[in-house]
Structure 1
Amino acid sequence: MSMFHDEFTQAPTLKYLNHAAVAPWPKRAAVAVARFAQENVLLGARDYPDWMVVEQRLRERLMRLLNAPSTDDIALVKNTSEALSFVAFGLDWKSGDQIVISDEEFPSNRIVWEALAPQGVEVVQVSLKGDDPEAALLAACGPRTRLMSISAVQFATGLRLNLEVLGQGCKQRNVLFCIDAIQQLGALPLDVQATQCDFAMADGHKWLLGPEGLGVFYCRAELRPQLKLSEFGWHMLEHMGDYNRTGWEPAVSARRFECGSPNVLGSMALEASLSLLEEVGMVQVGKLIGERVLQLEEGLKAIPGARLHTSSNPERRAGILSFSLDGVENSSVFQQLMREQVVCITRGPGVRFSPHFYTEERVIEETLAIVRRLAVL
């Protein structure tokens, strides 16, 4: 993978293990943004149609990344929370309806459903602690369950769920299936058709190596007309660009969720970043991330007092590894790591490491050496 290492020219002392939070950009994304900025300075929007070509290319890359049937199924959104809100406030709820989530969800995938309480909608939180979290989630689906919304990978523990099993179970129970894909998309392959999901969403600024402020929303074609729209504007119309037309209807495609002017700047960066992931290939990206997480796991297991909070089963994790040191506060471990240029974060039960495919073995070894010293103190 050395041919891709020159895409990541981070400060030599930096050990970046925080891709599950906000990722650094590859060089090609910075080049794309610099070129776009220069074009704006020199020419303004003279070549706006060319910008739309890049945006269309971005939609095509996202379609392939998700294995969506068509670019018509792809909406470009501000973030995951916005996409989740389109689902939550688009569906026609009845008092007594239930939504099943886990008890480990990031606030985005909990608050949006709890916000439906005034409509009489109940949120059922299911523990993932047992040996078969999928069975526990599906067992919680009763006759009043309308939707299950689950993170593909839990943000704090790094637990990865079997989305195919959940999708099949939801289909059998006539329950809508929504995937918060932010901790899997860009780290491992994800297939919206194989998982039979109805909705999936993710931000561009984590494993996709893009900027904040631009994400993707996949909505199954049959369900698009069923989501009541709450944002309206010139861009979401079927006859977009026909400014003299007085009658209007929402676009048939997922563009109906994009009410106004697009984030062209974000599109330039994210399209470039996704081109890199496509060149490497998502199967290879997943394999390389798995190797780096394993290297961290084996190193931490050899450190006295180090406790892992992420499953050792490769099928049960993606790019996140959480740990703590006996007798040392997580905040203290985190602060010391950051002082020594290891970029990580505290989440849930431990300190969270999240390497990407390009992370060098040297970075992981240097990080483990620092943790080893901290465990001795």
Structure 2
Amino acid sequence: MLNLNDEFPLAPGLRYLNHAAVAPWPKRASDAVRRFAEENISFGARNYPDWLKVEKRLRERLMRLLNASSTADIALVKNTSEALSFVAFGLDWRAGDQVVISDEEFPSNRIVWEALKPRGVEVVQVNLGGSDPEGTLLAACGPRTRLMSISSVQFASGLRLDLPRLGAGCRDKGVLLCVDAIQQLGAQPLDVQACDCAFAMADGHKWMLGPEGLGVFYCRSDLREQLALHEYGWHMLEHAGDYDRTEWQPARSARRFECGSPNMLGAMALEASLSLLEEVGMDQVAASIEERVLQLQEGLQRIAGIQLHSPLNPARRAGILTFSWDGWDNQALFAKLREQQVICAQRGKGIRLSPHFYTDPELIEQSLTVLSQLRQG
């Protein structure tokens, strides 16, 4: 029977509420890396074929997590920024083309589009503060709009968007939908087919509970060959491993975006972490996260002077709750919480809390007590 205390033996007194930044690994990921290191010490790469089996399982787990139609749609990338760059500098832009984004995006999903300015591409930023953010985003898509790139969950506010509605609206307008899924994948179910995504990407080190340096890039099959390649090497070839072949072509699968040697160390850890999410089930993961966010919300609302900056509607959020406190400077409050081992982040308008499904409700109560004591002090 699964014991989450065994999987997450966090240090005594540590209240970890920072999964929207960098998550702790489950024990099974640590064990996988330890075994991999010990194998390297003893045997080097003798068992490389077995490593490739782990990498294959990782692609299959990512395919299921995204509900992609095939592992051929899945590329293993260094991070979200790299995958966004594959899209931004792969499409055949024309002067006057527009990209629609929100005004709340993490820099990765803004700078990459602004970097296209020399090609004559215009970035249209849409305010999400109204009652119908999807309608506002779609209304901004005009005849020159080529692509909408949006975070499914905004990193600072935690606002979760209705991706199926955006996907249907973009399809009707002939606009490609690109989804930065880093704050949703591993916290909430995500179905790229139901959302009609053209592209989706996420790092493994947040809600997927994996290491930094390894992420996923989903590219719809009909669009793969439309993205011009800018990185070349042995691994992205259709006949990778046939080192004597002189004629070559890029892989037909999304492996065409993986130019060189894979991150096997990261693959060992992330494959193990995703096995935990699959064992629990994403519906249960999402339900448990919502219970913990609601616990935080209700506790914060009991403290006078605290302002919540995240949606209160469960349908509008994933795992993020951001707040500020009258009379407190955000940086000073963040420092005080860290002193008390409440691990969180300073983002947007305040302090961002982000529990995961395994977070012990008692640790949440302790964190709320820390805040109450700060008020009393």
SS, match of residue 3 in structure 2: helix
Residue type at the aligned position of 1:146: R
Residue type at the aligned position of 2:210: G
Alpha-carbon distance in structure 2 between the residues aligned to 1:287 and 1:274: 17
Partner of residue 178, structure 2: 178
Alpha-carbon shift at residue 4 of structure 1 (Å): 2.3
Residue type at the aligned position of 1:215: G
Alpha-carbon distance in structure 2 between the residues aligned to 1:99 and 1:275: 36
Alpha-carbon distance in structure 2 between the residues aligned to 1:25 and 1:341: 18
Alpha-carbon distance in structure 1 between the residues aligned to 2:212 and 2:197: 25
Residues 22, 205 of structure 1: 8 Å contact kept:
yes
Partner of residue 259, structure 2: 259
Alpha-carbon shift at residue 371 of structure 1 (Å): 1.1
Alpha-carbon distance in structure 1 between the residues aligned to 2:242 and 2:113: 37
Structure 2 unpaired stretches of 5+? none
Q: How does 1:147-226 map to 2 (within 5 A)?
A: 147-226=147-226
Alpha-carbon distance in structure 2 between the residues aligned to 1:321 and 1:46: 47
Alpha-carbon shift at residue 332 of structure 1 (Å): 1.1
Partner of residue 109, structure 1: 109
SS, match of residue 367 in structure 2: helix
Alpha-carbon distance in structure 2 between the residues aligned to 1:10 and 1:92: 48
Alpha-carbon distance in structure 1 between the residues aligned to 2:98 and 2:375: 45
Alpha-carbon distance in structure 2 between the residues aligned to 1:51 and 1:311: 43
Partner of residue 60, structure 1: 60
Alpha-carbon distance in structure 2 between the residues aligned to 1:203 and 1:312: 26
Partner of residue 329, structure 1: 329
Q: How does 1:183-332 map to 2 (within 5 A)?
A: 183-332=183-332
Alpha-carbon shift at residue 376 of structure 1 (Å): 3.6
TM-score when normalising by structure 1:
0.99
TM-superposition CA deviations, 1:313-359 (whole Å, max 9, x none)? 00000000000100111111110000000110100001000000000
TM-superposition CA deviations, 1:45-67 (whole Å, max 9, x none)? 00000000000000000000000
How much identity, in percent, do the aligned residues show? 71
Partner of residue 44, structure 2: 44
Alpha-carbon distance in structure 1 between the residues aligned to 2:250 and 2:298: 53
Partner of residue 87, structure 1: 87
Residue type at the aligned position of 1:258: E
TM-score when normalising by structure 2:
0.99
Residue type at the aligned position of 1:211: P
TM-superposition CA deviations, 1:90-140 (whole Å, max 9, x none)? 000000000000000000000000000000000000000000000000000
TM-superposition CA deviations, 1:77-101 (whole Å, max 9, x none)? 0000000000000000000000000
Alpha-carbon shift at residue 2 of structure 1 (Å): 6.7
TM-superposition CA deviations, 1:247-284 (whole Å, max 9, x none)? 10000000000000000000000000000000000000
**Aligned-pair Cα RMSD in Å:** 0.8
Alpha-carbon shift at residue 375 of structure 1 (Å): 2.9
Alpha-carbon shift at residue 372 of structure 1 (Å): 1.4
Alpha-carbon distance in structure 2 between the residues aligned to 1:5 and 1:312: 29
Residue type at the aligned position of 1:358: Y
Residue type at the aligned position of 2:287: K
SS, match of residue 323 in structure 2: strand
Structure 1 unpaired stretches of 5+? none
Residue type at the aligned position of 2:323: F
Deviation >4 Å, runs of 4+: none
